[in-house]
Structure 1
Amino acid sequence: MRRNLLVLIIGLLLGAVGTFYFLGAWRSRTLPGVPLRPPDQSNDASSTVAVTIEEKFFDSLLGTIFQQLGPPQLKLSQNFGQRPMQPIAFQNSCNSVLALNPEGNNVKTGVRFTGGKITAPLAFTGSYSILTSCIQFKGTARATVDLSFDQEKQTVFGRLNIDELVLDNVPALLSSLITAFVRKTIDERLNPFAVLRVSQLALSLPIQASGGSLKARVKDVRAEVQEGSLKLYLTYDFTAERENPG
């Protein structure tokens, strides 16, 4: 009992020290623009349109990716801490890749809209070179997604936040270190990501009878998470321009 407790304490200490040494000070990337808020029921909705995205859409999208393109892969960076020198254990031939899998350990990778939140269960496998050995690992994660709207870029962005991560078949002494590498890889390689480019939904309509054109540009985006679907409310700013007589 005492020996097991000692091994656990040593593992936690090594994980904490190793995480700081190899990763340095790490801060999660921020979202551009402003966070999406719930729809404002008090405002005039005459210039607002709603776009609904269902879970089935993401099931079909991810299924096509896994079947036709293969599992998405993220390279585990060799210089997370941006240090001028790296230990030789991190310079061998281990491929150091994190691969997203369709499912694993009764967890199916996907996107879920429930309880007023956007959640993303993930299943993955990977490898990393550490202490002259190539550590093969697999695991699952539970993540939530935050959304924002950048009006200048006319884009809705998302950020994946890992709330829980569980590794299988990883020695206790290395578990916390590899967990930190996986978390940081997902944050640096994926965040932030474009969810919807609303610039593609802008309008420019010639009004010949009035001798001009009507333009509409998205000025605000709100979000409402319903059970099984996400509803985005796009509010437009309308402008009109008269054509110069030729």
Structure 2
Amino acid sequence: MKLISVLSAFLVAILCCSGVAAQRPEVTISLNETFFDSLLDAVFQNAGPIEFSIASNDGGKKEKSAEVFGFGPGKNSECKEVIQLLRETNGVRTAVRFRDGKILAPLAFTGNYNPPFVGCVPFTGYAETVIDLDFDQQNQKLIARARVLNVSLNGTGGVGGTLIAKMVQSSIDKKINPIEVIRLDKLSFLLPIRNSGTLNMKAVGMRTGLGAGMLNIHVAYEFAK
């Protein structure tokens, strides 16, 4: 037990000393590409389908038009206008990569679109995205935003490819963002010190940086009894 007390005190000393230049002690969490690959594998294997709607608000008008021109409402209603993220399609894997000081995230997907007078159009493809990180000081959390740079589609048969690409881009921009990465209060904890109670390590700030093939999250702490 005495050894534990010594180690606890030693840890506190290291944390305090590491923050001399920054005026606050910091702990750095490093996440590499392998971590994100394993995380995405687990998400796609164990979670439900990751999907969101691309249906417009004029669904009623489209059904009415379809009936007038001989398309039954039953056929129209069976077309689920969604984008579903995939682990991989046509050799492109959903992933997180660190290149040239940027966080790149190719997103593989499949989906359906139901344009008027045409019927259900299935498609697959991938979106080239850049992830921007920002610390929300007011809400004390790290958030990410995906910016779609380009969308590549397959399987539309030449039907509305450009329109579908724009819809996919707009839907990802509006319905995925913002992404909450972690809240600052989840990184605060109590450090037990024998015969002295506990020391509160309160996370009070956060900044991010990119290293060689990894994301570094620097968490600033304050110590209090």
TM-score over 0.5 for the pair: yes
How far has the Cα of 1:65 moved from its partner?
2.2
2:24–2:222 CA contact under 8 A, matched in 1 = no
SS in 1 for 2:139: coil
The unaligned stretches of length 5 or more in structure 1 are 1-40, 241-246
**CA RMSD across the alignment:** 2.9
Q: Deviations over 1:58-101 (max 9, x none)?
A: 1111112222335422222432xxx7974436983111121111
How far has the Cα of 1:171 moved from its partner?
4.8
Distance in 1, matches of 2:216 and 2:163, equals: 38
Distance in 2, matches of 1:191 and 1:143, equals: 12
The match for 1:161 is: 147
Matched, 1:128 2:113: yes
CA gap 1:85/1:73 in 2 versus in 1, 3 angstroms: closer
SS in 1 for 2:150: strand
The match for 2:206 is: 221
The match for 1:148 is: 134
TM-score by length of 2: 0.75
SS in 2 for 1:130: coil
Distance in 2, matches of 1:103 and 1:171, equals: 21
Distance in 2, matches of 1:204 and 1:153, equals: 22
Matched, 1:68 2:53: no
The unaligned stretches of length 5 or more in structure 2 are 1-18, 67-72
Matched, 1:114 2:92: no
TM-score by length of 1: 0.69
Distance in 1, matches of 2:194 and 2:126, equals: 58
Compare relative contact order (CA 8 Å, sep 6+) and give the higher one, 1 or 2: 1
Aligned partner letter, 2:51: Q
How far has the Cα of 1:48 moved from its partner?
1.0
Count the aligned residue pairs: 196
Q: Deviations over 1:147-185 (max 9, x none)?
A: 111233221100111111111132546122211211122
CA gap 1:98/1:152 in 2 versus in 1, 3 angstroms: same
1:214–1:239 CA contact under 8 A, matched in 2 = yes
